[in-house]
Structure 1
Amino acid sequence: MEDFINRIECSEISFAFKQLKYTLNKRHRNRQHIEFLHECKQHDVIPRFLNIRLPAVHNEAKKHRIRMSLLKKELRRQYQLSNNIDLRLKFLHHFLLRHLHTIEYSILVDSLVEDTFYINWNADRKRNQKLKFLINQKERTRQQTNRVHTAPPDIIQPNEVHQFHDRFTNLSDVYFSEEEETILNLGHKFAPIPKSFDIHEMAIDIELQIRRDPSFDTLADRVLHTLKCFREKRVKVSDREQIDINKKLRGSIKNIREKVSINDLIITKADKNAGLVILKKHLYIEKTLTFFNDNNILEIKNNPLIKFSNKVNNIIKTSLPTLHKFGETIFSIKERNPQTPKLYSLIKLHKPDRSIRPITSAIGSPTHKVSKFLNKLINGIFKMRSQYSIKNSQELIKNLNSLKLDPHKRYLLISFDIVNLYNNIPVEDTLAILYKQLKDYLEANNDLNLDAIDIENIMALARLASEQNFFIFNDKVYVMKDGLPMGSPFSGPMSEIYLNFVEKLIMLLPLAQYIILWRRYVDDVFCV
């Protein structure tokens, strides 16, 4: 705390502003996290970050007690952190009041608090969703347990027990042993215990992550102290049985890699989280190229990354005044080292032809941060959501339960989906619809004090995010001639805007009078 006070006293007032904004943001996240932990404690649920692996000798009740004690310990730690944050804020308040008028300072704090709310809006929403999921999961587990204990033994038949699919599917003609299949069934997130641990590499990785933090010096000292204690107290694995298991695991993993390499196989994920799939590499490439041919995706000779990145940088610089109104800076919106997006394919095991679902990894691409900003802007601030769209199946059930039907009439239930949604969205039409909606917002409810130039800047960023339609597959560069970029965070809101427009047109048709209920989840529609 003394170092923090000395740095503030010796710095300019602009640095104190930055520290105030950072500390208010940190206080918001800290309070939300404390509230989340209290809710978990009240509902007797364990957050995922506390679901650590415990020895098998403990029963489930004891494991739960241990995790609850860890939750209470985390609460105490967060309260200590809250006290430190409050001390920093108190000093910053006194420091800034010495340099600013009371009214100026009040306006500044109110503005920063409001910015903090908008910046953390999406994270707060996700945290609430996690809490609801944990509570619902506990309730489902309790209901299943009650059904198992209350059902008579003679009613439960073996063929009524639900069988989950394997976590690994072999579509090749290569044989894998039972030990190898056991490892593959553990899924793509499994990793054996490492033989060695390089503490210096970890120190470098941590430093890269915390370097941007305003309190880097203090954090660096704490991390250095923690790593030194870890190195001094580290205990090597001495359990002979565990060492033998690790050796067998590594041997089996080595055999899997050799078989994949020698037989020209590829390991990928299945669609709908259905585990791992192994198939011949040439079949994987053929299926993906067939999708390219059917959707007007063409190969190009030169990678447009550098030219496109320069265009992105120029538009971001032009749009900075608008970005500042939403709490963004050139560092938060610009990729320092942009990479070309990479495409991979998921195998649809539930389809007879084993077709593919292409996925583009756009993280680190030139417009990834721009797309995330636009996603937050449209969904979180402007709230451009269709009245016919639903968030999940629970909302659909609620709508169906509230539906009142005439028992003397006959009704038809229809369900259908949109084929290759992103590829079939007309970009120019969607941008025109977005522009009109932004102008309507400007005229009707301009809470953010936007002007016509801000709308033009937002549209320039939206057009920019829609133009990043190139990617790498099999060491070649391809470009999409039609539709929205796959893997872009902005493609979802754009498709939602266009589908909302189409649905409104459908409801103007003469046949729309016979539609009792129309609900859509992304690209799946249910109609009565």
Structure 2
Amino acid sequence: MNKHDYNNKMLDILSDTKTYEMKPCGYAKSEGDKFAVTARKKKSKKGKKLLYLLEQAPKPPRMYGLPKIYKPGIPIHPITSGVNSASHNLARYLAKPLSKTLENIRGAHLWNPLDLIKRLQGIDFSGKKLASYDITSLFTRVSICDTLKAVERVVNNSNNEDLPVPKSDYLRLISLCVGYGAFTFNKKDYRQHPGLAMGSPFSAVLADLYLEVFETKEYMIFLVVLIDEHNHLPDWDNAVVLSKGSNKTEKDSRSSFHKC
């Protein structure tokens, strides 16, 4: 892919005004400075020991695109690299204990392929096939409000000894890191409004927590899908999802899902 095509595809992604907003020159640097000042406020004794994680001369996060060469048209996957940014080291440090809470909300988290194989043992797959559905643009569609509620839920159930700082400080710093959405591309400043940034140390674990809450709150989504009499996998529009308290079809549930 040549540079011209790459830039055009990246600009096409950034033209989504529901997700990204172009800002005046210097905005990203200013946001980094504000982050550092806010992160230093109202620290506990333990919290003061984390000050070394804050960059003395932070650089704005930088967005770049990863070409998906295995897909038709070679689409671009936007990634925001926060290395040496105001929030990166702190976010990476805070994400470690949070990752240990996965599966506390709903015991359906898969850690790796071997975990999946272990869980499928003993299940009768006669007349069935296993189907996996992908979620389009998961990170940017994650509800930050619901995600932070999920974080608060697992943190309140955690032991103080498992956290690097008191729970109130921990929740405040996570909220601060997640809300830091400034970045640059081609020397222009932008802000991502909804969702999580691909490339943040927090994004993967927070997206998992969000899905665990979503699955328990609204739908029970089955991975095992019955095939029809002709041995064909059902169409996505017609596959059925069991919804709590109703008999919604997957088509109805899918439209509700995309509103989250």
TM-score using structure 2 length: 0.75
Question: Which of residues 11, 14, 22 is equivalent to 1:299?
Answer: 22
Structure 1 residue 315 displacement after superposition: 2.5
Question: Which of residues 42, 50, 65 is equivalent to 1:318?
Answer: 42
Distance 1:421 1:406 in 2: 29
Over 3 Å counting, the alpha-carbon distance change for 1:291 and 1:449 in structure 2 is closer
Structure 1 residue 403 displacement after superposition: 3.0
1:437 aligns with 2:150: no
Please say if residues 347 and 357 of structure 1, whose CA atoms lie closer than 8 Å, have aligned partners that are also in contact: yes
The amino acid across from 1:463 in the alignment is S
Distance 2:197 2:43 in 1: 22
The amino acid across from 1:284 in the alignment is Y
Identity of aligned residues (%): 27
| Secondary structure of residue in 2 paired with 1:437 | helix
Distance 2:242 2:50 in 1: 50
Question: Which of residues 491, 500, 506 is equivalent to 2:203?
Answer: 491
Question: Which of residues 130, 145, 152 is equivalent to 1:428?
Answer: 145
Distance 2:55 2:50 in 1: 12
The amino acid across from 1:489 in the alignment is P
Q: Which residue does the alignment assign to 1:351?
A: 71
Question: Which of residues 224, 228, 242 is equivalent to 1:511?
Answer: 242
Give per-residue Cα distances to partners, 1:78-126, cap 9 Å, x unaligned: xxxxxxxxxxxxxxxxxxxxxxxxxxxxxxxxxxxxxxxxxxxxxxxxx
Distance 2:89 2:203 in 1: 13
Give per-residue Cα distances to partners, 1:233-256, cap 9 Å, x unaligned: xxxxxxxxxxxxxxxxxxxxxxxx
Distance 1:433 1:449 in 2: 17
Gaps of 5+ in 1: 1-278, 514-528
Distance 1:316 1:293 in 2: 34
Structure 1 residue 412 displacement after superposition: 4.4
The amino acid across from 1:356 in the alignment is I
Question: Which of residues 403, 416, 420 is equivalent to 2:122?
Answer: 403
Distance 2:139 2:202 in 1: 11
**Between Structure 1 and Structure 2, which shows a larger proportion of helix residues?**
1
TM-score using structure 1 length: 0.39
Give per-residue Cα distances to partners, 1:25-69, cap 9 Å, x unaligned: xxxxxxxxxxxxxxxxxxxxxxxxxxxxxxxxxxxxxxxxxxxxx
Q: Which residue does the alignment assign to 2:181?
A: 469
Distance 1:285 1:346 in 2: 12
Q: Which residue does the alignment assign to 2:80?
A: 360
Aligned residues: CA RMSD: 2.6
| Secondary structure of residue in 2 paired with 1:415 | coil
Gaps of 5+ in 2: 223-240, 245-260
Over 3 Å counting, the alpha-carbon distance change for 1:428 and 1:322 in structure 2 is farther
| Secondary structure of residue in 2 paired with 1:364 | coil
Over 3 Å counting, the alpha-carbon distance change for 1:440 and 1:484 in structure 2 is same
Bigger relative contact order, structure 1 or 2, given CA contacts below 8 A and separation 6+? 2
The amino acid across from 1:431 in the alignment is L
1:501 aligns with 2:219: no
Structure 1 residue 447 displacement after superposition: 5.1
Question: Which of residues 112, 118, 134 is equivalent to 1:417?
Answer: 134
1:478 aligns with 2:190: yes
Distance 1:434 1:448 in 2: 17
Question: Which of residues 24, 38, 50 is equivalent to 1:329?
Answer: 50
> How many residues are treated as equivalent by the alignment?
220
Over 3 Å counting, the alpha-carbon distance change for 1:291 and 1:403 in structure 2 is farther
The 4+ residue runs of structure 1 with deviation greater than 3 A are: none
Distance 1:469 1:314 in 2: 15
Q: Which residue does the alignment assign to 2:237?
A: none
Q: Which residue does the alignment assign to 2:107?
A: 387
Give per-residue Cα distances to partners, 1:484-527, cap 9 Å, x unaligned: 123110111111110111122323998269xxxxxxxxxxxxxx
Please say if residues 344 and 359 of structure 1, whose CA atoms lie closer than 8 Å, have aligned partners that are also in contact: yes
The amino acid across from 1:418 in the alignment is I
Q: Which residue does the alignment assign to 2:229?
A: none
